[in-house]
Amino acid sequence: MRKATYLTLNALYERKKVTAINAIEYENTRISNVISLLRNTHDIQIITDRVKTNNNKWYGSYKLEQSEENLRKVRLLLTNQDEVQKS
């Protein structure tokens, strides 16, 4: 798993604000690509809220669905990645 993907997934798990505007905090400039990867490849359920800016543009704000099954998948991915980084 790429570092940007790991950082984004961990932030979602910790219920931090994950948006297109603060994506650089997670070493990413295309947060929507990471969200798509998590949804499509890892079957992680992520909720997208649309946020309107002052200049009438929209961006995505992402939250992890808090179901037990979804959280279990996320914990497993994060744990596996931690083990890979240690070795």
Domain that holds residue 46: 3-86
CATH code where residue 76 lies: 1.10.10
Over residues 21-26, mean pLDDT: 87
Please tell me the predicted confidence (pLDDT) of residue 76: 95
Please tell me the predicted confidence (pLDDT) of residue 20: 86
- Tally of domains in the chain: 1
For the cut 60, the answer to whether the pLDDT of residue 87 exceeds it is no
Most distant CA atoms of the chain, gap in Å: 47
| More confidently predicted of 77 and 28 | 77
- With CA atoms as reference, report the closest residue to 63 among 14, 28, 29: 14
Residue holding tokens 């992402």?
A: 62
For the cut 60, the answer to whether the pLDDT of residue 30 exceeds it is yes
Q: What does pTM read for this prediction?
A: 0.86
Over residues 46-75, mean pLDDT: 94
